């Protein structure tokens, strides 16, 4: 899949949408509105602020727990040129990558998501109610980064408003993070009109990918999609839409994932 080349500070991207009515975003952006509420101002402020916590590693490793952020990634045993999730990392759910504020080099082993999606992904049409899906043309090792789930960042009230709209397909994701003191932090991302290649991942009750929170230099997490297992060429990439919550509820839309443990209906967005 190749399209117009788009560029962020750190990477170029050649993916594009098949539907020209959808804008391609390579990273999250704040939704625009004329109504400025306190929660909208808070979201803007968070989006524009920097997380300047820096590591002091003087080499390019940053792959051990000695690094303030590090130990998240390690070289894949099957594909040594690739960094994959380190299964013994400090925090299983939240990843902090090194950033421009760190003392380490730009090619340290704790930077992955910031360089953008992997190559050789392809959008394919199911010609069914499932619509399109995302496939890989090449093998992907377990733990590898696929792409970000990027779109418009919403306030909670805007997310609830959009969730109540009748759309044939829903793209809104609510990422729930629980802090060590039990507080809940929520991030709402909606790529329905503006988003990246991540918006094409369908749900499966037996998925081969998962979403993890990844922070680079901003308090608002990126939704990083990683392989949960080794994935073969021509496999569809999927994640469990209900995995990020302990209180999954299900809607009325029939799940067509086809897995043996299918729960029959798609999970609702859980606020």
Ligand X SMILES: C[S@@+](CC[C@H](N)C(=O)[O-])C[C@H]1O[C@@H](n2cnc3c(N)ncnc32)[C@H](O)[C@@H]1O
User: Measured between alpha carbons, how far is 240 from 110 in angstroms, rounded to an integer?
Assistant: 26
Measured between alpha carbons, how far is 270 from 250 in angstroms, rounded to an integer? 10
Instruction: Report the nearest approach of ligand X to the CB of residue 31 (Å).
Output: 17
Q: What's the maximum distance between 2 C-alpha atoms anywhere in the chain?
A: 54
Nearer to ligand X, 102 or 225 (CB): 225
Positive or negative, the CA dihedral 94, 201, 13, 163 is: negative
Report the nearest approach of ligand X to the CB of residue 167 (Å): 8
Q: Which residues contact 214 (CB under 8 A, 6 or more apart)?
A: 94, 95, 96, 97, 113, 148, 221, 222, 223, 224
Neighbour order of strands in the sheet with 94-96: 94-96, 209-215, 222-227, 145-148
Q: How far is the CB of 201 from ligand X (least distance, A)?
A: 6
Checking phi first, is residue 68 left (phi over 0); if not, alpha (psi -120 to 50) or beta?
A: alpha
What minimum distance in Å lies between the beta carbon of 99 and ligand X? 29
Between 90 and 130, name the residue whose CB sits nearer to ligand X. Answer: 130
The footprint of ligand X (CB under 6 A) covers 129-133, 169-171, 199-200, 202-204, 255-257, 266
The residue count of the chain comes to 271
Which of residues 169 and 178 has its CB atom nearest to ligand X in the complex?
169
DSSP state of 269: P
Nearer to ligand X, 76 or 238 (CB): 238
104 and 57 in contact (C-beta within 8 Å)? yes
Q: How far is the CB of 56 from ligand X (least distance, A)?
A: 40
In whole angstroms, what is the distance from residue 9 CA to residue 25 CA? 13
Question: What is the rounded CA–CA span in Å between residue 3 and residue 156?
Answer: 33
Residue (145 or 149) nearer to ligand X, CB? 149
State the CB neighbour count (10 A cutoff) for residue 15: 24
CA distance 144 to 166: 35
Which residue is closest to ligand X by CB?
131
Closest to ligand X by CB, 63 or 238: 238
Residue 209 beta carbon to ligand X: minimum distance, rounded to whole angstroms: 13
- State in angstroms the smallest separation of the CB of 240 from ligand X: 10
Residue closer to ligand X (CB basis): 49 or 129: 129
């Amino acid at each position: 899949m190749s399209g117009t080349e788009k560029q962020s500070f750190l990477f170029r991207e050649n993916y594009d949408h098949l539907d020209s009515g959808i804008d391609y975003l390579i990273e999250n952006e704040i939704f625009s509105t004329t109504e400025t509420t306190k929660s909208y101002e808070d979201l803007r402020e968070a989006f524009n602020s920097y997380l300047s916590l820096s590591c002091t590693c003087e080499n390019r490793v940053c792959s051990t727990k000695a690094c303030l952020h590090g130990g998240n990634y390690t070289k894949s045993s099957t594909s040594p040129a690739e960094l994959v999730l380190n299964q013994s990392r400090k925090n299983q759910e939240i990843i902090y990558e090194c950033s421009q504020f760190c003392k380490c080099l730009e090619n340290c082993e704790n930077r992955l998501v910031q360089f953008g999606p992997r190559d050789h992904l392809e959008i394919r049409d199911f010609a069914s109610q499932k619509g399109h899906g995302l496939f890989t043309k090449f093998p992907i090792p377990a733990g590898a980064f696929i792409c970000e789930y990027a779109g418009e960042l919403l306030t909670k009230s805007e997310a609830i408003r959009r969730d109540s709209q009748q759309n044939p397909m829903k793209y809104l994701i609510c990422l729930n993070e629980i802090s060590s003191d039990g507080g809940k932090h929520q991030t709402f991302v909606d790529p329905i009109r503006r988003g990246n290649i991540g918006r094409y991942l369908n749900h499966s009750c037996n998925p081969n990918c998962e979403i993890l929170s990844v922070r680079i230099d901003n308090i608002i997490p990126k939704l990083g999609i990683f392989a949960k297992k080794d994935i073969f060429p021509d496999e569809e990439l999927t994640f469990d839409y209900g995995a990020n919550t302990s209180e999954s509820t299900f809607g009325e839309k029939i799940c067509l994932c086809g897995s043996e443990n299918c729960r029959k209906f798609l999970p609702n967005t859980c606020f």
